[in-house]
Amino acid sequence: MQIELLYFEDCPSHEAALARLREVLAEEGVPATVTVITVETEEQAQRLRFTGSPTILINGYDIDPPPSDAMYVLTCRAYHLPDGRISPLPSAEMIRSALRRATRT
């Protein structure tokens, strides 16, 4: 399984996101290596189709697919949580669901 975490340095939640990702991987017993990629330029954001930091891709698929009109820019990403809150961090449940979907396919 290929797992990537893309981040933009200005957004401080990437370390917490990586820790949360590793925690879920351990809980799910998935021995995956996480590739961490720093996105530093607008050109790189375009090329990587980066819609904000942090972004987690599992086998190339975003754990929380952005809308089709999302811009590829150096920005911090907002995750919409089930209780209506917005967080700069994906929830553990969001990561877990994406991981289980990927292991089924």
Q: Using CB under 8 A as the criterion, which residues of the chain lie in contact with other proteins when the complex forms?
A: 10-13, 16, 75-79, 85-89
93 vs 105: CA distance, rounded Å: 19
Nearest distance from C-beta of residue 52 to other proteins, angstroms: 8
Minimum gap (Å) between residue 79 Cβ and other proteins: 7
Nearer to other proteins, 66 or 88 (CB): 88
| Beta carbon nearer to other proteins, 35 or 87 | 87
Task: Report in angstroms how near the CB of residue 104 gets to other proteins at its nearest.
Answer: 28
Contacts of residues 44-50 at CB distance under 8 Å and 24 or more positions apart, as own/partner, are 45/8, 45/72, 45/73, 45/74, 46/72, 48/6, 48/72, 50/6, 50/8, 50/74
